[in-house]
Every structure is written in C-alpha cells, then in structure tokens.
Amino acid sequence: MSARKKAQSNKKPKLAVFKFASCDGCQLSLLDCEDELLDVAGAVDIAYFPEATRAVMKGPWDLTLVEGSITTPHDAERIHQIRRQSKMLVTIGACATAGGIQALRNFGNVNAYVSAVYAHPEYIETLRTSTPIADHVKVDFELNGCPINKYQLLEVINATVNGRRPNINPNSVCAECKLRGTSCIMVSQGIPCMGPVTHAGCNAICPFYNRGCFGCYGPKEATNTAAVATRFRELGLNNEDVMRQFRMFTAAAREFEDESVAAEKFEAESLI
Amino acid sequence: METSSVGNTNTGSIHVLAAADLSALLEAIVAEGYRLVGPRIRNGTAVLDEISGAAQLPRGYRDSQRPGEYRISANGSGETNAGRYFDYVVGPTSVKRFLYPPRRKVLEAERSGGQWKITEPADDYPPTAIVGLRSCDLAAVRILDRVLLNDIYPDPVYAARRKATLMIGVDCAHPSETCFCTSMGGGPSVESGYDLNLTELGDGATHRFLIAAGSDRGEKLMASLRLSTATSDDLAAGAAQRKSAEAALAQNPPMQDAREVLANAWNSTRWDSIAQRCMACANCTMSCPTCFCVDIEDETDLTGEHADRWQTWDSCFTMGHSYVHGGAVRKETTSRYRQWMTHKLSSWHDQFEMSGCTGCGRCITWCPVGIDIREELAAIRTDQKTDVPEAAQ
Ligand code: SF4
Ligand code: SF4
Ligand code: SF4
C-alpha cells in the first residue's frame, strides 16, 4: 500500500526488460510473481516490457533487465544501444550470463547446423558462437539460473529500488542442501552431482528429489571443477559423461567450458 | 541456565530397561510435554528428525562410512543384530541443527512516521527431547556451550533452546571408519552431558538397555519406568561392548599433537595439495556440529518501510566470510582450508581453551571428495619433520 503511495509522491525508477536469444522463461518469472507484481508495478515505472505491456517509454532506464545471449550481428549492435540508455544493467538467466543451451553451437560447426535445420540457409544470418552479454558490454549484476529464481529477481529489483546490494549468495548448491537438510546424494547414493561447483540460488531442488544437480546456475565463486570431475570418474563416469555434466545450460561459462574441453581432450588422448 | 541439572555426569545408579520398554520411556518423555526427535531413515541416511515413537527408529540398521561415502541398510553387515535400535553411528544432521538453527530471523524493523520500530521475533522452539545422541554429539554441545553461552556475548536463543532440550545419550557399539572420537579424548561411550543414557545390549531374547540418569530430569523419568537393577553380567556385557568399540577406534592415527603441529604449519606445502582437491563447497563446515559461523543479512520489502534481519549458517570456505572493505582476505582455497583446520584443531584452544573438534568424522564422510582431516594432519606433520633442518629440531 505504501509502495504505491510512495510511488505517487516520488519519481519512480524506470524499468526496461529486453530479450535476446532465449526462451522468454526468465522474463516470464517476473509475471509469475503474481502476489508481488502489483507492488513491483507500484514501485517502478515499467517503461519497456513487451511480454507485459504495449506501453513504450524512451530511455534512459534506471534498471534494465536483459535476457538472452548474443547470437546475431544485429544483436551484437543492439546491446550497445541498450547499454548506452541504461543506468544499471542486470543480466538474467543462463543465456544472458553464460550463453545458454544455444552455446552448444560453440563446440560444433554452426554452418552445418544451419544447413541441417533451415530449408533456406541463405536467409540465416548468425554468429558462430552464442555469448553472454558481459562479453559485449559492461554488466552491473548477473543473476544466474535456468530459469532464474523469481524470488531472487524480486530481490534484485527490490535492492535496486532501495539503493542496496542484492543478497544473492554466490556459494555452492551444497550449502543450500545443508541449510534445508537434504542428505548429500553424491555421498549417500553415489549419484554424480554438480552441486559442489554450482552457484546457489535454486534452493537445491534436484538433490531434494534424488537427482544430481544439473549446474543450471553456472559456476559458483572460486570453483574447482577438476576436483569434482575426478570424483565423477571415481564414481564410474567416462570422459564423455564428464564432458556432458559440464556441457549443459551453462556450457559456455568459462570454468565449465574449460572442464568439458579438458574431458574431450582426455578422451582424444586415451584413443591414441 | 540451570547447568546443575543439564550436563552432569552420572548421578544415579545403573539399571536395566527391557528392550520392549523403550517405547514406554519415549512415551513418558512425550507425556512430560517434549517433542520427540531421534534418528530415522530418510533418503538412505539416518537423520535426526521428529519421530512419533520407538517404532520410527531404524531397527536392525548398520551403516558404513568412509571418506566421501555413506551407506546404511537393514542388516547390511550380514551380522545378526535383528531389532537393535542404535547399531549405526552419527549421520549428516547434528544437534547443532536444533540448538543453533540453519536460518533464523533475528529482528524485524518497521518504519512509520520516520521512526523505526525494532522487534525481536519470538523463537518457536518447543521443549524437545533428542534421543540417540552419541558421545561426540554431547561433546559438541559442550563446545557450543563454551562458544555461545560462556563467552562475552551469550546467545539468548541458544541458551533458551539448550535449556528446553532433553538429551538422551546412547553408547556407540559400532564406530564407523570415519569416527575418531577417542583421538579427541572422548567416546565411544557417553561420559557426561546427558539427562539419560542408554547402552543397548544383546538382541532377540537378550535385547535390553542399561540406563542411567545424569540429571534431575533424567532421574524423574527413570522413576516412572519399570526397571531392574543391573547385574554384574549386564555390566560386564556393557564393558565388553565398549571394549570392542574402542578397539575399532584404536586404528586411528595419533592426533594429540594437533595443536602444536598446526600452530607451526602456516607455510606447509600440504595446503596447496589440499586446495587442488578441495572444492570450497562448505559441506564439511555445515555438517560439523561445532562450526558456528553465521552470516547476517538484511532484507527490505519493496517499499523500504519494512526490514528483516536474518542469521544464516555461513562457512569459512566462502569468499564472503573473509570479506572486508575492498575484498576477501582469503581468496585462495589454500588459505580457506588452512583457516578451517587450524581453527578447529589448534587456535580454538587459544580462543576457547579446548579443541573445536569432537572426532565425529562428519567432515570426512560428508566431504563429496573425501578429504580426511586425520590424513591431512599426518601429512602436515611429516612435511614439518622433513622441512625443518636437523639443527633446529
Ligand atoms: S547432493 Fe549435490 S548439491 Fe547437495 S550436498 Fe551433495 S553434492 Fe552438494
Ligand atoms: S571437525 Fe570434523 S570430526 Fe571434528 S567435530 Fe567437526 S565434523 Fe566432526
Ligand atoms: S574439505 Fe571437502 S567438504 Fe570441505 S570445502 Fe573442501 S571439498 Fe568441500
């Protein structure tokens, strides 16, 4: 109630949401905040958010949320225009922060994919790689996840509106398992789990359901991927399995990319 | 804090409780108004959680624990222990979870008319009886007491929870490979810190418990039970079980010199080798029953008129733990593991006149890559011996 009151008296921050190569899932998390959406709408002016409103307010924007990765020459240009108009630019989701699932192309030949998929490949103008936004412009904050956690998104908006740093924990998924009281499934069942090297944020959903962490939130702070890869091999994974553990939704995150490439190299060497 | 009734050594004599009367004991505890917590099987692990009675205890189970590996199953060892209640040892949860919860709101603030009104939310911890605490669990409580009660700033919530908790100990019959309580000066049998203590003896027709009270609360409960006086045979059976448990622990490397070894090990080359294996994932510290570090976070709502302050378990393995203005002090895993192990086994003595380690082995079992604090100490000691020139020794 007071959000709206305050909003009427003060000048509200202008929020814009932009999409690049992505599935829209992350920006939809904002609309998924059903209970909180009216408060958000009261606290900020939604200046540009095509998934939610047709209204368009010109920049500059106080808070710009960017979803998706850079995959075309046109987008590589567009992101610079957006950056110039944004006071604070926050990337949301695995695509924007780590290139997304479409970054699997980085490890193959994109032209081969284009000819296999499209009837008229000559109409397709695409880059060889899918890259995170931070490879192109300065990013003020990265919110990881595939998809992002809506409560964390609210926290980022909330922190920005209130002029404080968001409480987003860069520790491991393991810490979340421990806090919620999930017994470690790697230790007690021998299930390979990316938790020890993965950024917290999902509240360790998968181990709770007896499934190893997929690494959706990308690398945690100061990660040691080689150590967990060694453990995976002890648990019976071969090099290809290890490569696949690291080559998922955040395949192009540097630490994960290095480990998946290393696993491929081990495999190639073992075949000599 | 009525320390007189909590945490004393055995005051009463030892009696025998028939195995079938364990439920009667638990029912008597519930009748006193306690919530019952004890080990139960969840996702293939024995966790401490709320239980409804003796029927939920994992009967006939044995565990096997190694660095980075835990398994538990009914009669998995192939031995006949049919119907025994406590033949496994400590699991991933510890008493810390109850006395010092993972996450707790410590205050709420509301702004109206430019004024902040700050309130402390009431703690919702009911009187709780924890059944099946081992010697190392009770040692952990002693350590937490020293840190959280008997220091400059006592933690009032810990104090209240501690007072509201009834501790039912159990002697360990089958220590696991990762247990090393005796190297830390305790176990495998419970010596102190309990309200009631149980020694499980025999199985089938001979299945029974030795029972002893360690506090007035324990005495009172005992008085309500059907008991017989322990015979010399009963006591001999208890002693024999203890001896075999001690024998299993005797294979552990000596650790008495840990304080001195680590006080002089800041530049050991071993830290780098550990850092290659360690993922700084924090499993060890969060599983440890004595690691007490927490993070304090403030949350606001969108209006900025309401704020909550949360206390959450933290770990010296996170970057944030050593963050000071301008950045983290311990950027490398090398220095983070060194901080953890040195504090646990060495500088804890300087700070609290005791070791920070009970030898429960959780940090070894629950480390996903199986880093073993016992082995690392041995390696650091060897390192020192080879590093130091003859003349200096
Ligand atoms: S289950 Fe996975 S995420 Fe959870 S503690 Fe174990 S390794 Fe970490
Ligand atoms: S340091 Fe390890 S063995 Fe010692 S009390 Fe903590 S978890 Fe148990
Ligand atoms: S010692 Fe093991 S559990 Fe502890 S932080 Fe390192 S890898 Fe994680």
Structure tokens that stand for B282 in this block? 């924090």
Ligand 2 interacting residues, C-beta cut-off 6 A: B 287-290, 344, 357-363, 373
**Alpha carbon nearest to ligand 2 atom 1, residue:** B357
Q: What ranges do the domains of chain A cover? A: 7-161, 173-270
Q: Are strands A45-48 and A86-92 parallel, antiparallel or unpaired?
A: unpaired
Which residue numbers in chain B have pLDDT < 70? 1-12, 75-80, 387-393
Any idea which ligand is nearest the CA of B289? 2
pLDDT of residue B313: 98
The secondary structure of residue B280, as a DSSP letter, is -
pLDDT of residue B9: 42
pLDDT of residue B2: 36
pLDDT of residue A8: 46
Q: Looking up tokens 């830390």, which residue turns up?
A: B184
pLDDT of residue A30: 86
Question: What is the value of ipTM here, to two decimals?
Answer: 0.93
For B219, the 3-state DSSP assignment is: helix
pLDDT of residue A2: 43
Mean of per-residue pLDDT scores for chain A:
92
Instruction: Give dist(CA A185, CA B66) in Å, integer.
Output: 15
Contact present, B286 and A178 (Cβ < 8 Å): yes
pLDDT of residue A128: 94
Q: B366 alpha carbon to ligand 3 midpoint, in Å? A: 8
Q: What ranges do the domains of chain B cover? A: 15-104+122-248, 258-293+316-392
List strand residue ranges (DSSP E) for chain A, in order: 14-19, 45-48, 61-67, 86-92, 141-143
CA angle in degrees (0–180, nearest 5) for A196-A201-A202: 90
pLDDT of residue B80: 56
The tens digit of pLDDT for each residue in B239-255 reads 999 999 999 999 999 89
Percent over 70 (pLDDT), chain A: 96
pLDDT of residue B238: 96
Q: Which residue has the higher pLDDT, B359 or A11?
A: B359
Instruction: Give dist(CA A46, CA B128) in Å, integer.
Output: 50
Instruction: Give dist(CA B69, CA A71) in Å, integer.
Output: 43
The tens digit of pLDDT for each residue in A169-196 reads 999 999 999 999 999 999 999 999 999 9
**Which CATH code for domain A7-161?**
3.40.50.700
For B313, name the nearest residue in chain A, comparing CA atoms only.
A179
**Alpha carbon nearest to ligand 1 atom 1, residue:** A184
| CA B75 distance to own-chain centroid | 25
The secondary structure of residue B105, as a DSSP letter, is E
CA dihedral angle for residue B230, residue B233, residue B234, residue B236, rounded to 10 degrees? 120
Q: Which atom of ligand 1 is nearest to the CA of A196?
A: 8
List strand residue ranges (DSSP E) for chain B, in order: 15-18, 35-42, 45-50, 61-66, 69-74, 103-112, 115-119, 128-133, 165-170, 196-201, 208-213, 228-229, 294-300, 306-313, 323-324, 327-328
pLDDT of residue B75: 67
| Residue of A173, A184, A194, A246 to mutate for B, most B C-beta atoms under 10 A | A184
Instruction: Give dist(CA B63, CA B61) in Å, integer.
Output: 7
pLDDT of residue B389: 53
pLDDT of residue B67: 98
Mutate which of B271, B313, B317, B365 for ligand 3? The one with the most ligand atoms within 8 Å of its CB, which is B317
**Alpha carbon nearest to ligand 3 atom 4, residue:** B284
| Residues in chain B closer than 8 A to A3 (CB atoms) | 302-303
- Asked whether the beta carbons of residue B302 and residue A161 sit closer than 8 angstroms, the reply is yes
pTM, two decimal places: 0.93
Query: What single-letter amino acid sits at A253?
Result: A
The tens digit of pLDDT for each residue in A48-99 reads 888 777 777 788 999 999 999 999 999 999 999 999 999 999 999 999 999 9
